[in-house]
Amino acid sequence: MNSEAELAVFTCKVCGRAFTEGRRLGGHVRQAHPPPKLEPQGNTRDAEKMDGVTASKVLEMWKDGAEPFEILTSLKLHPRFVKEVLKEYDELLNEWKRFKEA
């Protein structure tokens, strides 16, 4: 069997603790040093909240002929928010058409 000196040493870059197996180092890092939870750009609940000012900007860009990807990148929005705004707009237009026909 290999002596301890021959075993590979895996060292934690955060705290310096050494492990003889890479799996153990991975488990240590996941449990002892989890990555910080990042605040996403924009609110992830934008699709649920439907911010009126932002929704109006989305619709304005859409009416001016902007593609959805262009809207996402220029306004830095979550794709679900843009999808929901455009979906609600489409549903509203359909309701207005039915109302006018009746």
Kindly tell me the number of DSSP H helices and DSSP E strands found in the chain: 5, 2
Would you state the pLDDT for residue 24?
Answer: 92
Look up the pTM and report it: 0.46
What is the rounded CA–CA span in Å between residue 72 and residue 63?
Answer: 15
> In sequence order, which residues have a C-beta less than 8 Å from that of residue 90 and are 6 or more positions away?
none
Q: pLDDT tens digits, residue range 40-94?
A: 555 555 444 557 888 888 889 988 999 888 988 888 888 888 888 888 888 988 8
Where exactly are the structural domains of the chain? 1-38, 46-101
Q: Point out which residues pair with 76 in neighbouring strands.
A: none
- φ, ψ at 6 (rounded to 5°): -85, -15
What is the rounded CA–CA span in Å between residue 60 and residue 86?
Answer: 11
Name the token pair of 86. Answer: 């455009």
